[in-house]
Structures are given as C-alpha cells and as structure tokens.
Structure 1
Amino acid sequence: MKGQEWYQADDIAEEYEEKRFSRGGRLIDRREKQAVLDAIGPVEDSKVLEIACGTGRFTVMLAERGADIVGLDISGAMLQQGRQKAQAAGVDDHLEFMRGDAGRLPFPDDHFDAVLAMRFFHLADTPASYLSEMRRVAKDVVFFDTFNRFSTRSIYNWALPMGSRLYSRWEVGRLLDEVGLDLVSDDHDFVLPYGFYRQIPNRTASTFRKIDTALGGLPLGGRLASVSYWTCHV
C-alpha cells in the first residue's frame, strides 16, 4: 500500500490530527463526519466496522452515538492515539481497536451492519480487493470516499509524501460492479482541495467554503469536486 511506512511512523500519528484538522481543516472534519452519519443513519445498537480507522475520529464519534464498533488499522501508533481519544470521550469500554490488514479482514461474512473507510482508497494499490472484503463482512451498508481525478486535487497530488490514487466516476462504478455492490447515493464536494483549507485560519476558511459550496451547486459544479462520498448496499 502507498505510504505505508510513512503512515505508521510514530511522529506522523502524533501530529496527524493537529496538522489536518486544525485551522481551516475543522471544516473538513465536520463535513466528513456528517457524510458518515448521513450514509449509515442511526447507529445505536448497530454493529459497525471502520477499516483504516487511523486515530479514531469516526470510530469514537459512532461509539458516542451508541454503535457497537470495531476500528481496524495497520498502524499501532495510530491505534494508540485512538485509544487515548476513546478514553478521553468515556467510550473506551464499548469499542474495540484492532491492528490488522484491511485486505484480509478477520471477521465472518455478513458480520457488521455497516462497514466504512474514510481517507483510505487513495492509498490502496488494489482497491477492488479491499472493497470486496468490505462487502463480504457487511450485511447492509458499505461507505467510502475517493479523491477525484479531474479536479483541483490533481494539481498538488504530486506533492503528497506517499502519493495518492485519484479516481474518475467511471472507475468507481466499475469497481462497484466488480465486487457486486449497488450504489445508493453519491455526493461530490470540495471544489477547492483539502490542502488549501489546511493552510488558512478557520474564519477565512469559512468564507472560502461558502464560495466553494456555491461553485459546487452550479449545474456542472459537481464535476469539479475533489472528493466524492459513495454509499452502497450489499
């Protein structure tokens, strides 16, 4: 997987959220969390799996809403950050963080009501194999995001330390057909790329976000979006 050594480094795990979700990055955090909640609906008493859970942003959020959730990641350092976050939120007694390979999920078929992956598929060298595993262990919903090929994301893609895979909508559709998932809804956002928001203060970012949202709402605005959210049913 692209950037695997970089991603697992202790210093990256310690600084991951501060670098990405402070300043204007707070807007990104809120938008992504809302996308997850919109996709999987009420989660109380639902069994949920998050693969590539990282520092547990979504895992902890869903646990706070009553989900019976497992967060799986390949990075021990990231998982440790997640455990600390869960403890601080008071939900560490009813969620589980597990180190493992998303390409070989250690769960039986149809084990979870919903399976999600955020900020993952841009790193995947074999996306179909990961998506197939997500489908295998899900009973109902599979949700994930992608970064888009024909967008501003491509402008700075080369500068990322681990590289990044970009997808066209046609490629995502082909992947879903290949693994047997039915697309329920797709949502496309952020004409301005994530990296831009991270570099500016939150107040300034809010102004640009309004412009961004207006551009995205134009007839062809969605085609310029740098991020897509895909909600599928098994």
Structure 2
Amino acid sequence: MKGKEWYQADDVAEEYDDKRFSEGGAFIDRREKEAVLSALGPVDDKRILEVACGTGRFTVMMAQQGADIIGLDISPAMLAQGREKAKQVGVDDHVEFMRGDASRLPFPDDHFDSVFAMRFFHLADRPVTFLRELRRVSKGQVFFDTFNLGSTRVIYNWLLPMGSRLYSRRDVESLLADSELKLETEAHDFVLPYGFYRQLPQQVARPFRQVDTALGKTPLGDKLASVSYWNVTK
C-alpha cells in the first residue's frame, strides 16, 4: 500500500498513537514536542498552522500553550482522532481541524505567524511544491523535520508499509534554495532509528536513549542522526 492510501486508512488512525508513542515511543513523542516548542517559542496568541497534523499531538499541545491554531490533514480518520483529543483536554473551542491538501493550502499569503509540518516530508511525493506552499501562507517561519539518508533509518526503511523518502543534507539545502527559504537553526537526533524504540518497553528503552543522546553529542552525532529538525524563514 502506498503512503497516502496507508495513511488515510481508518485502522491506521485508530492505532497510530498507541503503536508509535507508547512505551519506548514515548521518548520519540517527548523529543518531537520539545523540538516544536523550542523552534516556535512562546505561542500565546500567535496564529499557527500545522500541516499534516495527523491525530493532533502537536495541534492540541499548541492550543494548550495559548496558540490560535489550525490543524490540516488529508485523512478524515486522523482528524477525528484530533478532535476527540482536543475535547478530552478541554481545548476543542480553541483549535480547528480542517481537511485539506498540503499542495494547495486554502489560506491567503502571509496568513500565519508560523507554519510547521512534522512527520510529513518523508511521505511527500512533491516536497518542493509542499514547502513552497508552507512558505506562501507563513509570514516568516516554517519548521519541519526529515528522515536522513546515510543514517540507521536506511536499515529498516524497506520494511515500512508505505514509501519513505530519505534526505541528504544536500537534498535539504536544495529544497530550501528552490523554495527561497533561509536556514536559521537546525537540530539532529536519534542515532538509533524510531522503529527500534517502538519495539521496546519504556524501562528497557530508557538506557538506550541515554546512550543515544550521549552519542549524539559527539562529533559524529549529527552525521549519524536519523532525524533532523529544520527551522527556516523567508
């Protein structure tokens, strides 16, 4: 099953968070949320768009932080999960979930203070088209992540049920140049791939995460990292 079809399946949406962010996957969830909050900074009263919001992990978090946020996704099943999540924590009246196509965002130019997309570009069949759209609707800031070529991600990438695009640094630099975006800050993490953590109970995964973090701080860390976070501006 190809990426878009796999992603929109109802059963995938229902199991998405449990399969990826429970047990050892909690370390992934924590790091990703830290990356988003660190890049976007204080979001109180900011107008923010999350593209490919999925089940609303970040959308709801941003609403809890005081953002005026819209979460856009192509999957009705994923959006339903996000709405339920927002309702459970009492922010359903502060966040809007909308179905839409990331290649044709239904917003005017310069509409949002910040735009971000997590867990998206590894599924993007036209990354330049998508990034240009993120740029168009943002007043300045765009934040996104990539899975990296030359990392341990390659080891299990072929096992995934959907295609997964991996990026070299040169690929990202070319993508930014073609989208007329400037790199402001970057961060790299997870020498061990995500799939490794998701297979382990949290207590077993903890010491591996500690070693992973320590290795990431060495000169080889950035080169071996399987995930990169890119904070860019117009």
Whether 1:140 and 2:155 are equivalent positions in the alignment is: no
2:115 aligns with 115
- Residue pairs, 1:55-94, within 5 angstroms: 55-94=55-94
User: Which deviations, in whole Å up to 9, do the C-alpha atoms of 1:121-152 show, x marking residues without a partner?
Assistant: 00001100000000000012100000000100
Compute the displacement of 1:204 (Å). 1.4
State the alpha-carbon separation in 2 of the partners of residues 97 and 49 from structure 1.
10
2:231 counterpart letter in structure 1: T
State the alpha-carbon separation in 1 of the partners of residues 11 and 112 from structure 2.
32
User: Which deviations, in whole Å up to 9, do the C-alpha atoms of 1:164-207 show, x marking residues without a partner?
Assistant: 00000110011101111110011010000000000001111110
Partner SS state of residue 143, structure 1: strand
| Count of aligned pairs between the two proteins | 234
TM-score (norm 1): 0.99
Partner SS state of residue 125, structure 2: coil
State the alpha-carbon separation in 1 of the partners of residues 216 and 69 from structure 2.
33
Structure 1 regions of 5+ residues with no counterpart?
Answer: none
1:233 aligns with 233
Compute the displacement of 1:14 (Å). 0.3
1:13 aligns with 13
Partner SS state of residue 24, structure 1: helix
2:39 counterpart letter in structure 1: A
2:29 aligns with 29
State the alpha-carbon separation in 1 of the partners of residues 30 and 115 from structure 2.
20
Compute the displacement of 1:18 (Å). 0.3
1:101 counterpart letter in structure 2: D
Where do 4+ consecutive residues of structure 1 move more than 2 Å? none
Compute the displacement of 1:221 (Å). 1.7
Structure 2 regions of 5+ residues with no counterpart?
Answer: none
1:204 aligns with 204
State the alpha-carbon separation in 2 of the partners of residues 175 and 3 from structure 1.
21
1:39 aligns with 39
1:213 aligns with 213
Partner SS state of residue 114, structure 1: strand
1:105 aligns with 105
Compute the displacement of 1:215 (Å). 1.0
2:186 aligns with 186
User: Which deviations, in whole Å up to 9, do the C-alpha atoms of 1:189-231 show, x marking residues without a partner?
Assistant: 0000000000001111110011001111111221000000000
1:220 counterpart letter in structure 2: L
TM-score (norm 2): 0.99
User: Which deviations, in whole Å up to 9, do the C-alpha atoms of 1:54-75 show, x marking residues without a partner?
Assistant: 0000000000000000000000
1:149 counterpart letter in structure 2: L
1:154 aligns with 154
**RMSD, aligned α-carbons:** 0.9
State the alpha-carbon separation in 2 of the partners of residues 211 and 222 from structure 1.
15
